[in-house]
Amino acid sequence: RCFLLQFSASISSLKVVWRKDPKLDQAIENDKKWRMCARVVREVLNEPGQVIALSYLQKRRERLRLHVNVPTFLAQNPGLFDMYKDRIKPKSDLVTFVRASDRLNRFLEEEKIIQAENEPLIVAKLCKLLMMAKDRVVCADKLVEAKREFGFPNDFMVTLVSKYPEYFRLHGTPGEGQSFLELVNWNEEFAKSVIEKRAEAESTSLGFRVRPDFVWKLPRGFFMKKEMREWIRDWIELPYVSPYEDVSHLDPASREMEKRMVGVFHELLSLSIHKRVAVPILGKFCEEYRFSNAFSSVFTRHSGIFYMSLKGGIRTAVLREAYKGDELVDRDPLLEIKNKFVELLDEGREQRAEQLRISRETIQKDMELMARLGTNN
């Protein structure tokens, strides 16, 4: 809190007005449908036996943020699930149950293959998350909650962690109170941020040393007061502080510490699948990464680096440089899983559209036949 008071005093008169970025909002909107489907899939797969009564699933509609009833959702997304009749108890009435379809099961097998092919990338990401953390330790439950943001397999805390004892040590059991994941060995190959790697590549290409620093990419029409522009210019001139660097010697209220915090957020978003993460998820790691309680103001204060989207009623921090319009520039290899899932959804919807077309044609032919019969009579 002392840090907040001191640092805020230096920029108290420098306000950055939030400005909507329609293209980055659209990038989030583009993923809305498949994310909704993925939530329902996870809900069913997390059930014992990966089966759930349709009525139970309907009761969870609000929590799943479904805008239609579950039967309507299932009809709109054929190919995801099969429905069948069974009894909840031996002598009870038959009820409708929902389970994964053969098509969905094939996708789940493809997902495992893609994750296995990209295991070195996943291990590097997990190591990096620990290397940036204070004492190289992160709460295991928080990592589990954020697993989808970084493309970690569902069971990574069991399978992956135990497979690489040279990197990871798990203390306690996730989900059963205090549990932590610790980095055992520091790998220098992982200790370079995206920004540092980019500067090295540019230095090699140009033949002279390029200083690592952030890319500023303000949208057209974005207005910033002169005082704020000057503050940002001076801040940019400060040396870049790597998120993997020991910062115990830095004053928590210093601009250098602010630069380090921006560097950590930049690296976290760079490691994420979509180069964006919901702010509440980032907030879970305040203790591990030394974020202040008011950390979210960083995203508006540094609007040339980040964008704070309010799409869907959820604050999402977006890395500006990762997008061109509403499309990702540098796609994470693990995004192939999303592509396969979207293909599955598209196949089902195309199948439904074809069935509806055939049904309409059949009805039209029946009506024409009845009309002819009526005329003949």
Render 90-106 in DSSP notation, one character per residue.
TTSPEEEEEEE-HHHHH
Position 112 in a domain: no
The DSSP letter of residue 316 is: E
Position 316 in a domain: yes
- Tell me which of 140, 158, 186 is where a domain ends: 186
Structure confidence at residue 272 as a pLDDT band (50, 70, 90):
very high
Given a cut of 60, whether residue 193 has pLDDT beyond it is: yes
Structure confidence at residue 1 as a pLDDT band (50, 70, 90):
very low
Domain match, 137 and 264 both: no
Domain match, 204 and 152 both: no
- Tell me which of 186, 209, 226 is where a domain ends: 186
Residues 6+ apart with CB under 8 A from 326: 23, 24, 26, 27, 30
Position 90 in a domain: no
Q: For 316-353, write each residue's pLDDT tens digit.
A: 999 999 999 999 998 999 999 999 999 999 988 877 76
Position 48 in a domain: no
Out of 37-46, 212-221, 228-237, the most confident range is 37-46
Out of 154-168, 216-230, 347-361, the most confident range is 154-168
Higher pLDDT, 175 or 326: 326
Q: What percent of the chain has pLDDT over 90?
A: 60
- Tell me which of 186, 217, 236 is where a domain ends: 186
Domain match, 294 and 249 both: yes
Q: Average model confidence (pLDDT) for the chain?
A: 88
Q: What secondary structure, in 3-state letters, does 121-169 show?
A: HHHHHHHHHHHCCHHHEEEHHHHHHCHHHHCCCCCCCCHHHHHCCCCEE
Domain match, 303 and 200 both: yes
Domain match, 151 and 202 both: no
pTM of the predicted model as reported, rounded to 2 decimal places: 0.87
Given a cut of 60, whether residue 12 has pLDDT beyond it is: no
Domain match, 225 and 160 both: no
3-state helix, strand, coil in the chain (%, to 5): 55, 10, 35
Domain match, 252 and 327 both: yes
Residues 6+ apart with CB under 8 A from 313: none
The CATH number covering residue 168 comes to: 3.90.1150
Given a cut of 90, whether residue 37 has pLDDT beyond it is: yes
Out of 93-107, 223-237, 241-255, the most confident range is 93-107
CA atoms within 13 A on the CB side of 141: 9
Higher pLDDT, 276 or 312: 276
Position 58 in a domain: no
Number of residues that make up the chain: 377
Q: Look up residue 243 and give its two tokens.
A: 């998120």
Position 161 in a domain: yes
Domain match, 179 and 198 both: no
Domain match, 25 and 124 both: no
Q: Look up residue 341 and give its two tokens.
A: 């899932």
pLDDT the model gives residue 365: 74
Structure confidence at residue 8 as a pLDDT band (50, 70, 90):
very low
Position 229 in a domain: yes
Domain span holding position 210: 1-36+192-333
Counting the structural domains of the chain, the total is 2
Domain match, 127 and 237 both: no
- Average pLDDT value for residue range 203-221: 86
Given a cut of 60, whether residue 11 has pLDDT beyond it is: no
Domain match, 168 and 255 both: no
Position 328 in a domain: yes
Domain match, 177 and 260 both: no
